[in-house]
Amino acid sequence: MLRCIHLMADGNPKLRILSMNVLKEGCLTLENETNLLLPIVHKIWTSLMKRFHDNHAIVVEKAFDLLTVLSKVAGNFIRQRASSEIIPPLVLFLTRGATVSASASKSYKYLTSYRVQKRLLKEIGPLCIQMGLLSQSLRPVINVLVMYLDNSQPEGLQQASMSSIEIIWTLDPGSTWALLINHLSDSDIQCIYSQRLVKPFEIIQVYYHPIERHKDLNVKLQNISILLNKLHEISDEITK
């Protein structure tokens, strides 16, 4: 495994991928051997962090795979470092990806970049839950997810983003609500809510107007409207 850690920085992307696959399986094997596992995780960390800045999307995906395994087998050990060292490059990767996928042609969904974006968008929410991230670390994640709600993004990426936002809501409903609302203008809020001033934990009916009836209601507003409906329903169930 120590040799594989060294190979994570190899110039050949195939070797970087293979090394992370081996490390992933090795860490799963050592899950119950804490004394052996944690020193290995510590040694993996620096090289893993660099892979999130890799130029190859598939390498970033494999790094995410390895991070997911580490959060499973050594979540408490890596939690603080993950929020400060891994979340920023993940958010940066998705932010840069959003500029590429925005208004991309229909063929974009057949590219590796699309597949990796979609997977990260869908799984970053569960990862945040697994690591128990706090509000400060969640904010940039929520903001980048909201970027993908825009009508310029492929529908698959919009849906993946919405899925993670719903999951993050269960971890921090207040911040999620506030950041969603922050992306709306006063007129947008009036379109969505039955009253101008609302509180985040009030269970208020959110109005969703069909796009054909409101031509000025763009897809991003529509997605946020749908999300707020779902999130308030979740809150309603929790408070029953």
Q: What is the pLDDT of residues 123-166, one digit of tens each?
A: 999 998 888 888 888 899 999 999 998 888 999 999 999 999 99
Q: For the residues 161-187, what does the mean pLDDT come to? A: 85
Residue 192: the pLDDT is 62
Residue 80: the pLDDT is 76
Residue 40: the pLDDT is 94
Query: Do both 93 and 170 map to the same domain?
Result: yes
Query: Do both 169 and 217 map to the same domain?
Result: no
Q: For the residues 26-31, what does the mean pLDDT come to? A: 94
Residue 212: the pLDDT is 42
- Structure tokens, 108: 């974009």
Query: Do both 75 and 149 map to the same domain?
Result: yes
Cα angle value 173/74/57 (rounded, 5°): 75
Residue 188: the pLDDT is 67
d(CA 116, CA 111): 9
d(CA 85, CA 196): 39
d(CA 205, CA 229): 7
Residue 56, Ramachandran bin (φ over 0: left; ψ between -120 and 50: alpha; else beta) = beta
Give the range of the structural domain holding residue 117, as residue numbers without chain letter: 1-183
Q: Which of 142, 164, 183 is the last residue of a domain?
A: 183
Query: Do both 196 and 179 map to the same domain?
Result: no
Number of domains within the chain: 2
Query: Do both 174 and 194 map to the same domain?
Result: no
Residue 191: the pLDDT is 64
Query: Do both 50 and 115 map to the same domain?
Result: yes
Q: Which percentage of the chain shows pLDDT scores above 70?
A: 82
The helix/strand/coil state of 203 is coil
Query: Do both 21 and 140 map to the same domain?
Result: yes
Count of alpha carbons within 13 Å of 40, Cβ hemisphere only? Answer: 26
Query: Do both 95 and 205 map to the same domain?
Result: no
CATH code, 127: 1.25.10
Query: Do both 234 and 141 map to the same domain?
Result: no
pLDDT digits 0-9 by tens, 196-226: 344 444 433 444 444 343 433 466 777 887 7
Q: Which residues sit opposite 206 in a β-bridge?
A: 193
Query: Do both 118 and 12 map to the same domain?
Result: yes
Residue 193: the pLDDT is 61
Query: Do both 93 and 200 map to the same domain?
Result: no
- Predicted TM-score (pTM) of the model is 0.79
Residue 143: the pLDDT is 92
pLDDT at 190 over 70: no
Residue 63: the pLDDT is 94
